[in-house]
Amino acid sequence: MREYLLVFTIAAIVAYLMSGLCRRVAVRAGAVATVRERDMHTVPIPYLGGVAMFFGVAAAFLVGVNLPFLGRLELVRHDAWAVLAAAAVICAVGVLDDLFELNALAKLAGQILAAGLVVALGVKMLWIPLPDQIFTLDATSSIAITVFFIVLCTNAVNYVDGLDGLAAGVIAIGALAFFLYAYWLTADADISRATTASLITVAAAGACIGFLPHNFFPARIFMGDSGAMLLGLLLATSAISLTGQIDSSRLADASGQASQAGGLLPAYLPLVLPLAALALPFLDFALAVVRRTIRGHWWWVADKQHLHHQLVARGHSHRNAVVLMYVWAALISFGTIAIGLTGQWITVLALVLAGAIIAWVTVGPISRRIQTRQQPH
C-alpha cells in the first residue's frame, strides 16, 4: 500500500505543477475555450489540462514500474507501458481537437487507434462473467469488445466534462473506488497485490486530484478533450487489464462461494465497477443520444441539456451542481462495492437512493445559505 500511496502522490504533484505550465502554453498556442451558446463559462479559458494529467500519470507509471514491489512483475511493467503508449496517442488526439476542433469522425478514428494500440500490445479483455459461468473470449471477440469498451468509456467521460471540476472529481471518485476493490480482490484471493489495474486507477485518481485545484470553479484551465478522453481510456484499461491478471477460474469458484454466503462477488465487479464509476456519464450519454435522435439530430451534435445543465437550470449554483454530482458518483461507486461485499443489494440500493435524495434536498439550500452570507450587505 505504501508504494501505491507514493504513486498517487507523485501523480498529484506532477499534475498540479504541470497545470500552470500547460496553461501558459495553451494561451500562447491559442488552445483556448471560447464562449459558445452551450457553454457554462463566461470568459475564455485555456485548454491542455489533459496534458498536465498525462504527465502526472506518466511520472507515476515511471516510478511505479521501478519500485521493488510494483515493478517486480513483468506483466505489470508490460501492461503499464502499453496503456501509457495508448494514453499518449489519445491525449495527442485530444490536443489536436483542442487546437483545431476535429470533427466527430476524426476523433472517433483517434479513439479507435488508441484502443487498437492497447490490443496490439497485448492488453485486452479475456473473459466476461455470465450468470452461471465465466465466458472465455476468443481472439476476435476479445479485440472487438476491448475496442468497443474503450471507445464507450472515452466518450462517456467526454460527455460529462461540462462544469468546472466535474469530470476530474467524478473520475477521481470512481478510480479510487475501483482501486480499493482491486486491492481488496487480490488480498481476498490471496494473490499478488501488484496489478496494473491498481496502478492505473491510483495514478489516475492522483492526477485528477492534482489537477482539481486549477480546475474547480472558477476554473483557470480546462482539461479539454485531451483530458476527458485520457481519463476514459485509463478507467477502461484498468478493468481490461484486470481480466488478464486475475485467474477467472478462481474468481468463478470464489463467486459461487460468495453468492451462497452473501459476500464478495469478484467475478462481476471487475467489469461492473468501471460502469458504476461512469454511471452518471453513461446516463448522460444515453439521454443525449435519445434526446438528439428524437429531435432529428446526430448524437454528436452538442446541446445544452446535459445533466449538469439541468441541475443549474433548476436553481443549483455551479459549485452546488458539481458537489451534488460528486455525492451521486460516490454513492453509486462505493454502493456497488458494498453490494459486492455484502450481497444485500436491496438494502444497499435503498441506502444509495436515500442518500441521493437527501443530497438533492440538502445540498442546494446549504449552498444558497452560504452564498447569501457571502454577499455584501
Quote the number of domains for the chain.
Answer: 1
At residue 69, what are phi and psi to the nearest 5 degrees?
A: -90, -55
Q: Which of 212, 101, 222, 86 is nearest to 154 (CA)?
A: 86
Residue 103 annotated as binding site:
no
**Is residue 337 included in any domain, yes or no?**
no
Q: What is the pLDDT of residue 130?
A: 62
Q: Is 312 within a domain? A: no
Which pLDDT score, from 0 to 100, does residue 287 have? Answer: 74
Residue 53: domain span:
2-290
What pLDDT was estimated at residue 314?
67
pTM score, whole prediction: 0.83
In a domain, 370, yes or no: no
* R_g over Cα of the chain: 20
Q: Cα–Cα–Cα angle for 93, 99, 102, nearest 5°? A: 55
- Which residues lie closer than 8 Å to 351 by C-beta, 6 or more apart? 335
Query: In DSSP terms, which residues pair with 136 in a beta bridge?
Result: 127
Residue 46: the pLDDT is: 93
| Assigned domain for 317 exists | no
- Quick check: is 38 in a domain? yes
Is 320 known as a binding-site position? no
What are the Cα distances from residue 172, in Å, to 45, 258, 327?
22, 29, 12
Low pLDDT (below 50) residues in the chain: 254-264, 366-377
Q: Is residue 322 part of a domain?
A: no
Alpha helices in 220-296, H assignment, sequence order: 224-245, 248-261, 269-277, 279-294
Say what the pLDDT of residue 319 is: 80
Q: Is residue 81 part of a domain?
A: yes
What SS3 state is found at 192? coil
Question: pLDDT value at position 328?
Answer: 82
For residue 311, being part of any structural domain is answered with: no
What gap in Å lies between CA 249 and CA 306, rounded to an integer? 41
Three-class SS of residue 101? Answer: coil
The partner residues of 32 in beta bridges, in order of sequence, read 46
